Amino acid sequence: MKAVTLIYAIFFGWMIAMVLSPAQSSAAGTPLPDKQWEAPVMPGGTVVKTEDTAVYIDYDLPYEKVLGWYKDALKNYKDGKYRDWADQMYIEDQGGAKWHSIGISKGGGNKTAVKIVKDNMTWVLSTLLIRFAGVFVVLCVLWILLNISGAAMKRFFPSEGAKAKAN
């Protein structure tokens, strides 16, 4: 009996470890300047600035060529969402990659700036907090509306016992 319990404990521990471990889903076959980014980085650029959560790279190429390279590098990546904004093309990871977004700026002529942002726990926890607060607010509004509805029902449709006492 203890052996079965031990096997179950090992199995469930392994399952929890697999669920909680980050997924390795960076685009395959693309060069990386550093293992910490795990995002495709176009070669030939100049690293302008590196922060804990972001890297800024400039290219002496037009926007269309840089965008074409990133689209080709991410063509097999199913968790990327492209957002075409006025000032940049924003590629957001909606999967389990270690990078959060790649921003490719527009309007620089033959110079294009790329910003790669790494996922951080502040963003993840703030998103969860906002969702929790939203659900809490919705439930409070529903509770208030149900209380108002219940009070209206009691007033307009009195119970049989209250009708008998009135007569």
pLDDT 10s digits, 64-101? 999 999 999 999 999 999 999 999 999 999 888 889 99
pLDDT given at position 109: 87
Please state the pTM of the whole predicted model.
0.60
Q: How confident is the model at residue 107 (pLDDT cuts 50, 70, 90)?
A: confident
Q: What is the average per-residue pLDDT within 148-161?
A: 88
Domain assignment of residue 5, yes or no: no
Whether residues 28 and 98 share a domain: the answer is yes
Whether residues 47 and 108 share a domain: the answer is yes
Give residue 105's domain range: 23-119
Residue 27 has pLDDT above 70, yes or no: no
| Beta-carbon contacts of residue 110 (< 8 Å; ≥ 6 apart) | 60, 61, 62
Domain assignment of residue 138, yes or no: yes
Higher-confidence position of 18 and 73: 73
Whether residues 129 and 99 share a domain: the answer is no
The pair of three-digit structure tokens given for residue 106, joined into one six-digit string:
């527009």
Euclidean distance between CA atoms 80 and 94, whole angstroms: 6
Whether residues 82 and 145 share a domain: the answer is no
Q: Helix, strand or coil for residue 61?
A: coil
Whether residues 137 and 100 share a domain: the answer is no
pLDDT given at position 18: 60
Whether residues 115 and 140 share a domain: the answer is no
Taking only the tens place, the pLDDT of each residue in 30-76 is 344 456 678 899 999 999 999 888 999 999 999 999 999 999 999 99
Q: Looking at the 3D structure of the chain, how many domains does it have?
A: 2
Whether residues 131 and 53 share a domain: the answer is no
Whether residues 109 and 154 share a domain: the answer is no
Q: Which of 68, 67, 59 is nearest to 112 (CA)?
A: 59
Cβ atoms 48, 60 nearer than 8 A: no
pLDDT given at position 24: 40
Whether residues 68 and 27 share a domain: the answer is yes
